[in-house]
Amino acid sequence: MFDKASYETVLSNIDPERQELYSLCESQGVAITVMKPYGGGALLSAEASPFGAAMSVAQCLHYCLTRPGVATVLAGAVNKEELMEAVAYCDAGDAERDYAKLLSSCPAHPFTDKCMYCGHCAPCTAGIDIASVNKFADLCEAQHMVPETVREHYNVLSVKAGACVKCGQCETRCPFGVKIVEHMQKAVDIFGE
């Protein structure tokens, strides 16, 4: 399911094997729950989006909910406004939910070098929780600062990014082509260890 070729197409496409699995789940009444419908917030920002265009909360949720077999979406929110936008999806009209025109005009984008915090890179030979380190670093970059709560979460990690021995084993397992060694250095630069 996590073949790199699956992520080298436009967002609106889906890997045929994944499509088959989703369709099978739908036909058997097996519900699928989607996580990270906003791509960690990147899809909501034209600057951060891999497609060069921002999607609305309603468009992101609708995209997820229109995939075969998907019954629920775990929509996170960074603030009250985002939470209210997610709730407003229930009353949104078809035009507000429509993502087709936006995605059809976006260039194809490979899903590479963007950590999805999936954990497929593990285990780290140095014991680093790579997904958590990347998540904390990404949160800081998105906010252009190091929030105290994020620093506290980073500080309780038993092994920090600075312990990276640059062996690259994690990179061979990453389905998204994340340059993990570089990301660990970025985290060291952000958190100082």
**Pair of tokens at residue 34:** 């989607």
Report pTM. Answer: 0.57
Cis bond before residue 16 (omega within 30° of 0): no
Could you tell me how far CA 79 lies from the centroid of its own chain?
18
Q: What is the DSSP annotation of 70-103?
A: EEEEE---SSHHHHHHHHHGGG--HHHH--HHHH
Whole-angstrom CA distances from 101 to 6, 53, 96, 97, 184 are 22, 11, 12, 11, 37
pLDDT tens figures, 102-148: 776 666 555 678 787 878 899 999 999 999 999 899 889 878 899 99
pLDDT tens figures, 3-42: 444 434 434 345 567 778 878 888 898 999 988 898 878 8
Q: Domain map of the chain by residue range? A: 4-104, 130-191
Contact between 73 and 64 under an 8 Å Cβ cutoff? The reply is yes
Phi, psi of 176 (to 5 degrees): -110, 10
Q: What is the number of alpha carbons within 13 Å of residue 77 lying toward its C-beta?
A: 12
Which comes out higher in pLDDT, residue 95 or 10?
95
Residue at token pair 């061979």: 172
